[in-house]
Amino acid sequence: MDHWAETIPVKPQGKARARSGRNGHYTPTKTKDSENSIGLWLKAKGAPLFSGAVYMEIIFIFVRPKSAKKRLYHTVKPDIDNCLKLFMDASNGILFDDDKQVVKLISEKIYGEMDCIQVLIKEVG
């Protein structure tokens, strides 16, 4: 397969920073739960494992609040880089062996009808 495209019905979320506690560093539960939800959904859909360099387009779609009636772009938290990090970490071992395989990336955060993540992945080279 040279490409794969899907709409993942999960609310986009940014990856939270690791926290420190009495027993060392840990990943916040909300981040772990979101990564697990994405990973389980990708596995259930039979997402292909790309082995070479990949190009990815990813759109994070958030339900539009009443306060943003006329805006297209989601310009509040979470930051796009944190959304990307969470998605890429959740996809490791499922869509690609490691996110270092992503060599070209186009991404945006917009408002839409439902919370979801649209992704297109193509093998390149």
pTM exceeding the 0.75 threshold for the entire prediction: yes
Residue 47's domain comprises 3-17+26-123
Distances (CA, A) of 75 to 24, 64, 80, 84, 109: 34, 11, 9, 15, 8
Report the C-alpha gap between 52 and 16 in whole angstroms: 28
- Predicted local confidence at residue 70, as pLDDT: 87
Number of compact structural domains in the chain: 1
- Predicted local confidence at residue 68, as pLDDT: 86
pLDDT by residue, tens only, the chain of 125 residues: 789 999 999 999 999 887 887 888 878 889 999 999 999 999 999 999 999 999 999 999 999 998 888 899 999 999 999 999 999 999 999 999 999 999 999 999 999 999 999 999 999 98
CATH number at residue 53: 3.30.1330.70
65-83 residue pLDDT tens? 988 888 999 999 999 999 9
